[in-house]
Amino acid sequence: MSVLMNWLREELGKISENEIEVPNHELEDGDKAVGTLESVEARKIHELRNRVIRDMTRQLKDVSHKMIDAIEEEVSDDHNPATCERCTFRRQLELLKDKKDMLDKLFWSCVRHELSEEARIESDKMGSDGVGIRKDWQIVLTKRESTLGGILLGFGLPI
């Protein structure tokens, strides 16, 4: 039993196929389409990641004013993390961010594991710097100009 794994199973179980938002990002220069992400489970992970990001964004907007109000409380002598709104919010957000990071990593790992051997060979041939997801779940091998971004992508960061 794990709180995080239970959460993941439950949330993925709640997502029905027709609720999954289909990516609409057009192909970019240097992208090479090598297939389609057919795995419904991987698509659900993508959807859950988007939901967690939306949740984080909404919470940040909702409470940013409260945070400012709470700064005074934070510096006072009787600051109590149990009742402090700011600390409570920060604790919530830490876990959300953790989930988002985990889902990001999990999603891109899923995509890489779906690649055929041919696609992986093609990736080597073209000197691809990563994988991406485009319109209608197309999987693309990416290749960017050698900028700082490209160098970072070379370390396996997804785009």
Which residues are near Zn ion by CB under 5 A?
74, 84, 86-87
Least Å from the CB of residue 76 to Zn ion: 10
How far is 85 from 104, CA to CA, in rounded Å? 28
Least Å from the CB of residue 91 to Zn ion: 10
Please identify, using beta-carbon distances, which residue of 28 and 74 lies nearer to Zn ion: 74
Least Å from the CB of residue 54 to Zn ion: 26
Least Å from the CB of residue 99 to Zn ion: 22
How far is 122 from 48, CA to CA, in rounded Å? 30
Instruction: Output the residue with the shortest Cβ distance to Zn ion.
Output: 84
The total of other beta-carbon atoms located within 10 Å of residue 67's CB is 14
Please identify, using beta-carbon distances, which residue of 65 and 125 lies nearer to Zn ion: 65
Please identify, using beta-carbon distances, which residue of 85 and 114 lies nearer to Zn ion: 85
